[in-house]
Structure 1
Amino acid sequence: MSRRQMDITPELMLRAYRIGLFPMAESRDARTLYWLDPEQRGVIPLTDFHLSRRLARRMRQSPYRVTANRAFERVIDECAAPRPSSPESWINAEIRALFLALHEQGHAHSIESWQGETIVGGLYGVAIGGAFFGESMFSRADDASKIALVNLVARLRLCGFTLLDAQFQTAHLAQFGTQEVPRAIYKRMLSLAVDVPAEFASELPDDVLAAEVAQLRSGPD
């Protein structure tokens, strides 16, 4: 972890992501950002993503309407909001502004889960070449963020992405087959992925996405 030494711009953010760095704040009120370069990196496998039978059944019931890039600002605000399990947040005002700028430039994307006209879950991240850097997710209803993640994985696979970076391994992400990758190996994976000519698609047919979800490996509940 290194303290910020200069003003961070969206362009600097993109250069940093390309070499494996990402910024965080210590709290939502913090005025200092830090560059992180973890020794172990959490990576969600796109070719061997684990979809439990329970969640696969749940998705076939279509409990939520899932969209992409329909409510980016709302998603990042929900990710930063206090919750019982995590009252604090690493998303401060500067992080928020930087990601909104990246979204306006077409580099940052969100996935949203909706119940009617109410957003109940989602996630956001940055796409560079064939690499997608997942930043944060939130859930206000059962499985809402999980279903958003499965939709993201299907979307990335269809669009030719090769790397889904989760930053850190967590118990929540482990259920999807997330692996910890040493820094040197991760950076080799990253250097290949960012040069892949992939492009994030906000609009894909529902039947195409559903067919891709059906291709994901299902295992124990």
Structure 2
Amino acid sequence: MIPWLSPHNNRFPSPHEALDEPDGLLAAGGDLSIERLISAYRHGIFPWFSDEDPILWWSPNPRCVLKPRDIHISRSMRKAIRKQHYRITFDQAFSEVIELCSSSRDRVGNTWITDEMKHAYTALHQQGIAHSLEVWRDGTLVGGLYGLAIGKLFFGESMFSLEVNTSKVAYIALAKQLEHWRYALIDCQVQNDHLNSLGASEISRAEFLEYIKLNIDEDPGHEWQFELSNEQLIQTDD
């Protein structure tokens, strides 16, 4: 049995109480208020559920992460970036990005980005906590991602590609910019081949929570709304 969260406060069980199977399931219930979501991420917890489920809260062990300086760009990816004329923007099209991410399907054909999730993360964006990164080609949005920035940590949520490699371009641009801003870590939640190819790796839950403890209250001291040209993206890499 997992605990059912009280609607009267935003407290969570310790992440160390999460189940081993399914890995990381910690609690159910509560809501997706701004206050509860911030409390969750500050404790290494995130929501993930389908339309037919109650709200489910997770803290997997191990945790998939990327240190921004460890981003891996393959030779073929470098060539693709140089060949295309991408424009990279931050916080220019959050609603479009989350909508396109929600169109992606999991292994059983469901989307986990429900309408409730979209409303919640849009509210976080309006508060300057959730952010998007967009990849444009010839004025058309072709890739992107979104997540939360708290302190010197970025909690990645989802990405999409409408053309080959454009979600990778978004992830590379994010990592390069976060390295410039001296962020400690990108939380990737759960490992997959796509993230592994970009340099992500797994650490223990205990180590992840230590990163949070050390970096969650740091002042990032920067603005999110700006853009990078394709040439600038290549420059930051070279």
TM-score of the two chains, using structure 2 as the length reference: 0.82
Aligned partners of 2:173 and 2:233 also within 8 Å: yes
Give 1:162-177 correspondences, 5 Å limit. 162-177=184-199
CA deviation map 1:56-107 (0-9, x unaligned): 1221223422211111111111111145966311111111111000000100
For 1:182, the aligned partner's letter is S
| DSSP 3-state at the match of 1:47 | helix
| DSSP 3-state at the match of 2:122 | helix
| Aligned mates of 2:104, 2:158 — CA distance in 1 | 13
CA displacement at 1:114 relative to structure 2: 1.6
| Aligned mates of 2:31, 2:180 — CA distance in 1 | 36
| Aligned mates of 1:85, 1:212 — CA distance in 2 | 35
CA displacement at 1:115 relative to structure 2: 2.3
Unaligned runs of 5+ in 2: 1-24
| DSSP 3-state at the match of 1:95 | helix
The sequence identity of aligned pairs, in percent, is 36
| DSSP 3-state at the match of 2:80 | helix
For 1:203, the aligned partner's letter is F
CA deviation map 1:106-164 (0-9, x unaligned): 00111111222321111100000100000001111011111011111111111221111
Is 1:145 the equivalent of 2:154? no
Aligned partners of 2:135 and 2:141 also within 8 Å: yes
Larger Rg: 2
Is 1:87 the equivalent of 2:138? no
| Aligned mates of 1:84, 1:205 — CA distance in 2 | 31
Q: Which residue of 2 aligns with 1:217?
A: none
Aligned partners of 2:90 and 2:227 also within 8 Å: no
Is 1:183 the equivalent of 2:221? no
| Aligned mates of 2:203, 2:193 — CA distance in 1 | 16
Aligned partners of 1:82 and 1:89 also within 8 Å: yes
Q: 1:123 to 1:193 in 2, by over 3 A?
A: same
| DSSP 3-state at the match of 2:219 | coil
Q: Which moved more, 1:180-189 or 1:54-63?
A: 54-63
Q: Which residue of 2 aligns with 1:59?
A: 81
Q: Which moved more, 1:107-116 or 1:5-14?
A: 5-14
CA displacement at 1:209 relative to structure 2: 4.5
| DSSP 3-state at the match of 1:189 | helix
Larger RCO of the pair (alpha carbons < 8 Å, separation 6+): 1
Aligned partners of 1:45 and 1:179 also within 8 Å: no
- C-alpha RMSD over aligned residues: 1.9
| Aligned mates of 1:150, 1:138 — CA distance in 2 | 13
TM-score of the two chains, using structure 1 as the length reference: 0.88
Q: Which residue of 1 aligns with 2:18?
A: none
1:202 to 225, 230, 233: 225
Aligned partners of 2:81 and 2:234 also within 8 Å: no
Q: Which residue of 1 aligns with 2:92?
A: 70
Is 1:19 the equivalent of 2:47? no
Unaligned runs of 5+ in 1: 215-221
Q: Which residue of 2 aligns with 1:121?
A: 143
| Aligned mates of 1:99, 1:120 — CA distance in 2 | 21
Q: 1:36 to 1:85 in 2, by over 3 A?
A: closer
| DSSP 3-state at the match of 2:29 | coil
CA deviation map 1:144-200 (0-9, x unaligned): 111011111111111221111100110111011111111001111121121222145
Q: Which moved more, 1:80-89 or 1:1-10?
A: 80-89
CA displacement at 1:205 relative to structure 2: 5.4
